C-alpha cells in the first residue's frame, strides 16, 4: 500500500507542465517576430518525431535484443557513451536532412535555424515533460481517490509490484523537483537551438565539420546526463542540471562565434 500524493505536488506538476508549453509558444512568437517563417518550427517537430522517437527507438529495440544490449544495460559508462552517440547521430542527421531537403527554400533566413530548433527541442519537451506531467497528475488523482486498483486490476499479477514501485515516487517526491524537471527541459531546448544553428551552417556553407561537432556535442550532453543523473548520489538531480547548464552556456558562446562568422543577416 502506498501513501497519497500531496496536493501541492499535483499543483506543481500542472504548473510546470503549463510553463513548459508556455516556453515553447513564447519562442515560436519571438522568432516569428524576428522574421522567421512558421514551417521550420513544424518541420523541427516532425524531425524529432521521426528520427528520435521512431527510427532511433527501432535501433535501440534491435540492439537490446542482442548480447551487446545486455552489456550496455549492465555498464553505466558504456550506456552513457552508446546513448549519447545514438542520440547525436540520429537527431543531428535528422536536422541535416531537414535543412537539406524540406527546408531548402527557407535557407535564405538564418533566423529559421532558431525557429527549427524551437520546434525540435520544443516538441521533445512537450512529449517528454508536459505529457508525462499530465499523466502523473491523472495517476496522482487515482492514487488519492483510491481508484488506482482500476489499473492494477488490469495488469498481470507479476507486473503489479513493478507498477506500484514506479508510481510510488509520486507520493514522496517534493514539489520542487518537478520544477527542476522544467529547468532541465528549458536547458535542453536552448541546446537544441544551438545545435540547429551549427547544422544549419553545416548545410548552408557546406561545412561538414559543424555537423560532426554537433553530433559530438550532443553525445557529450547526453553522456553527462546519464552518468550524473543515474549516479544515485544525494542531490544528483541538482548538480546534473548545473553541469548541463555549463555545457549549454559554453556551446552557446561557440555558436555565437559561428553565427557572427557565417551569417549574412
* Per-residue pLDDT tens over the stretch 12-60: 999 999 999 999 999 999 999 999 999 999 999 999 999 999 999 999 9
The pLDDT of residue 79: 94
Q: Which residue has the cell 522568432?
A: 31
| Count: domains in the chain | 1
CA distance 154 to 1: 17
Residue of 8, 7, 12, 11 lying closest to 182 (CA atoms): 12
> For residues 244 and 181, is the Cβ–Cβ distance under 8 A?
no
Does residue 1 lie within any of the structural domains? no
Does residue 152 lie within any of the structural domains? yes
Does residue 2 lie within any of the structural domains? no
Domain extent at residue 89: 7-262
Does residue 122 lie within any of the structural domains? yes
> Considering the entire predicted model, what is its pTM?
0.93
> For residues 215 and 91, is the Cβ–Cβ distance under 8 A?
no
| 226 burial via Cβ count (<10 Å: 0-12, 13-18, 19+) | buried
The pLDDT of residue 23: 97
Does residue 241 lie within any of the structural domains? yes
Does residue 164 lie within any of the structural domains? yes
Whether pLDDT at 69 is above 70 = yes
Whether pLDDT at 206 is above 60 = yes
The pLDDT of residue 146: 81
Identify the band that residue 127 occupies on the pLDDT scale cut at 50, 70 and 90.
very high
Amino acid at each position: 500500500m502506498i501513501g497519497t500524493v500531496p496536493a501541492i505536488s499535483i499543483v506543481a506538476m500542472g504548473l510546470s507542465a503549463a510553463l513548459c508549453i508556455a516556453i515553447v509558444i513564447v519562442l515560436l512568437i519571438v522568432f516569428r517576430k524576428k522574421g522567421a517563417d512558421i514551417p521550420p518550427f513544424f518541420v523541427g517537430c516532425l524531425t524529432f518525431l521521426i528520427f528520435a522517437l521512431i527510427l532511433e527507438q527501432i535501433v535501440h529495440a534491435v540492439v537490446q535484443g542482442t548480447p551487446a544490449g545486455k552489456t550496455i544495460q549492465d555498464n553505466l559508462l558504456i550506456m552513457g557513451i552508446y546513448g549519447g552517440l545514438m542520440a547525436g547521430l540520429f537527431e543531428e542527421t535528422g536536422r541535416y536532412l531537414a535543412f537539406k531537403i524540406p527546408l531548402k527554400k527557407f535557407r535564405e533566413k538564418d533566423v529559421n535555424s532558431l525557429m527549427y530548433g524551437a520546434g525540435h527541442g520544443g516538441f521533445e519537451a512537450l512529449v517528454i515533460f508536459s505529457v508525462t506531467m499530465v499523466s502523473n497528475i491523472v495517476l496522482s488523482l487515482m492514487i488519492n481517490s483510491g481508484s488506482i486498483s482500476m489499473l492494477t486490476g488490469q495488469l498481470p499479477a507479476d507486473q503489479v509490484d513493478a507498477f506500484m514501485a514506479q508510481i510510488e515516487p509520486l507520493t514522496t517526491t517534493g514539489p520542487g523537483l518537478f520544477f527542476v524537471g522544467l529547468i532541465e527541459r528549458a536547458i535542453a531546448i536552448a541546446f537544441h537551438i544551438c545545435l540547429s544553428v551549427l547544422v544549419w551552417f553545416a548545410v548552408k556553407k557546406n561545412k561538414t565539420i559543424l555537423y560532426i561537432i554537433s553530433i559530438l556535442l550532443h553525445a557529450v550532453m547526453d553522456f553527462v546526463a546519464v552518468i550524473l543523473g543515474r549516479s544515485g548520489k544525494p542531490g544528483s538531480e541538482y548538480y546534473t542540471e548545473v553541469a548541463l547548464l555549463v555545457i549549454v552556456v559554453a556551446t552557446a558562446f561557440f555558436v555565437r562565434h559561428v553565427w557572427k562568422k557565417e551569417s549574412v543577416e
